[in-house]
Structure 1
Amino acid sequence: MSSSRSRRGAAGQPAADMAEIARADSEINSCTPVGLPATARVLFAVVDANGTLIRGLGATSATRLATGMYQVGFDQDIVGAAYIGTVGLIAPGGLAPQGAITVAPRTGIPNAVFVETYAASGHTDRPFHLAVLA
């Protein structure tokens, strides 16, 4: 069942017409997990710039390896997973510092992700959010 709130439209977006709404509603129940095992999980970690694991789901550890380089451990093998990272605050309020982030499987550790954070000047410590679709 779709939300009437989503049909109001947001500032700057055109309102959806009835045909678009009907199509979107019909797709809600038709989605199938292509290629995902029955045990698929969404894991996440919120990590401070100093490498402290602030909170997470399935996250077991975070370590600052060097300036702007981190390792985040999880409670399962995530070699075949997808990784999504963003520079982000560890608490509500304000805006995250500007920066970029890259994420990759951790070489030699099947349950960890390697994270690098950057500013315009190069590697810089930044707080970040990491999602793992395993």
Structure 2
Amino acid sequence: MSSFFRRKAAAVTFAVLALSLAGGGIAVAQPSAKAPQEAVQPAARGTSNQPPVTAESARSAKAALAAGGVTTLAAANWYTVVNSNGTKARGTGTVIKYGAGQYEVQFGYNVSAGAFLATISRSDSCCIPPAGEISVAPRLGTPNGVFIQTRNSAGTPADLGFTLLTHTP
């Protein structure tokens, strides 16, 4: 009797395997050389490049580092609230506006190993901020700078106010 159940279990196992292979098959994803352009978000197309560091920006960054006078910091959090026109509303750092939706915030210390968090906001206590998108990254070529891009909901660069939080390890 036990051999009957063993044969029946083996038959059922082979039947399930055969039905799985015949009915569902095995799908193997083939890697593609390039993602289709439709799969890329509209806001991400061609907007990931930072503008070149200007002479004014380099001078400002060096002056901020010299004025900071701090070479090693304990872990610290700093914030900066920036208006849509590129002026600093409150917080730390110096703001430079490059073009539509492109900003740089410079600090008096090296933030290249830090973490950054940015959100679209208003500097006043009124109302909900406009809808949009924001990206933040370390500023290339400036160890004490953070680069921010803001876009409207359609992905077009737009001047939007924001709040930047910087954490240095």
Q: Please report the TM-score for the alignment, with normalisation by the length of structure 1.
A: 0.69
Greater share of strand: 1
Residue 74 in structure 1 maps to residue 101 in structure 2: no
Residue 45 in structure 1 maps to residue 80 in structure 2: yes
- Aligned-residue RMSD, C-alpha: 1.4
Q: Which amino acid aligns with 2:134?
A: I
- The correspondence for 2:139, drawn from 106, 113, 121, is 106
Q: Which amino acid aligns with 1:97?
A: P
Q: Which amino acid aligns with 2:82?
A: V
- The correspondence for 2:150, drawn from 101, 110, 117, is 117
Against the structure 1 CA distance between its residues 101 and 77, is the aligned structure 2 distance closer, same or farther, given a 3 Å change threshold? same
Tell me how far 1:60 sits from its aligned partner.
Answer: 2.4
Tell me how far apart the structure 1 counterparts of residues 155 and 76 of structure 2 sit (CA, whole Å). 36
Q: Which amino acid aligns with 2:88?
A: L
Indicate if the aligned counterparts of 2:133 and 2:155 stay in contact, CA closer than 8 A.
no
Residue deviations 1:60-83, cap 9 Å, x none?
210111100000011210000000
Residue deviations 1:33-65, cap 9 Å, x none?
xxxx97010011000011101111xx2210111
Q: 1:108 aligns to what SS in structure 2?
A: coil
List runs of 5+ in structure 1 lacking aligned partners.
Answer: 1-36
Aligned residue in 2 for 1:131 = 165
Tell me how far apart the structure 2 counterparts of residues 38 and 45 of structure 1 sit (CA, whole Å). 18
Bigger CA radius of gyration: 2
Greater share of helix: 2
Q: 1:122 aligns to what SS in structure 2?
A: coil
Aligned residues with identical type, % of pairs = 32
Tell me how far apart the structure 1 counterparts of residues 140 and 155 of structure 2 sit (CA, whole Å). 26
Displacement over 2 Å in runs of 4+: none
List runs of 5+ in structure 2 lacking aligned partners.
Answer: 1-71
Indicate if the aligned counterparts of 2:109 and 2:144 stay in contact, CA closer than 8 A.
yes
Aligned residue in 2 for 1:8 = none
